[in-house]
Amino acid sequence: MRPRPLCIDNPENDNYVRLVPDGDIEEILSNQRTKTITLLNSVSEESASKAYAPGKWTLKEVIGHMTDSERVMSYRMLAIARNESEPLPAMEQDRYVTMANFNKLSWEQLLAGLDAVRANTLSLISTIDDAAWVRSGTVMNSPVSVGIIAYGIAGHELHHLKVISDKYL
């Protein structure tokens, strides 16, 4: 089991990491994958195409954002695990959502993408040894470890699942 990381001077990471229960992070991420896809499979194409209020993302856009965010966070994990010394850039989430046109994709396609990205994240984590797990790099001008990013992925999903449950379902 991987040690739970301590956040390094980055409140955003800390907010997500705090949401993650104690336990094996690979098991947590794997269980999330099953629960999230099962929950979202019950949503209709029509419901997924709606926002809960004017100016808010549709559920399709939320899922697209979750998928893109995990892709970016997994890349950051990979780069830092492989000892990348260059600072890694931010992700401007609203621009990503706007440019992706998630509402033109089918709900089935978006869920398949979310599932595939999580499978790839789990595959990546399984290749990271203990030395790389605690290795730190720089993301958005703040230090962050591989482990914090892994917990951040789980916490980011938990954050959005709460919003989905409270506002969309």
Closest to 16 in 3D by CA, of 117, 112, 160 = 160
**Which residues neighbour 28 within 8 Å (Cβ) at sequence distance 6 or greater?**
20, 21, 154
Other C-beta atoms lying within 10 Å of the C-beta of residue 133:
19
- pLDDT single digits (tens) 45-81: 999 999 999 999 999 999 999 999 999 999 999 999 9
- pLDDT single digits (tens) 101-122: 999 999 999 999 999 999 999 9
46 lies in some domain: no
135 lies in some domain: yes
Could you tell me the residue range of the domain that residue 139 belongs to? 11-36+57-168
160 lies in some domain: yes
Other C-beta atoms lying within 10 Å of the C-beta of residue 115:
16
Q: Specify the CATH number for the domain of residue 86.
A: 1.20.120.450
51 lies in some domain: no
44 lies in some domain: no
pLDDT at residue 11, rounded to an integer: 59
98 lies in some domain: yes
47 lies in some domain: no
Total tally of structural domains belonging to the chain: 1
- pLDDT single digits (tens) 89-100: 999 999 999 999
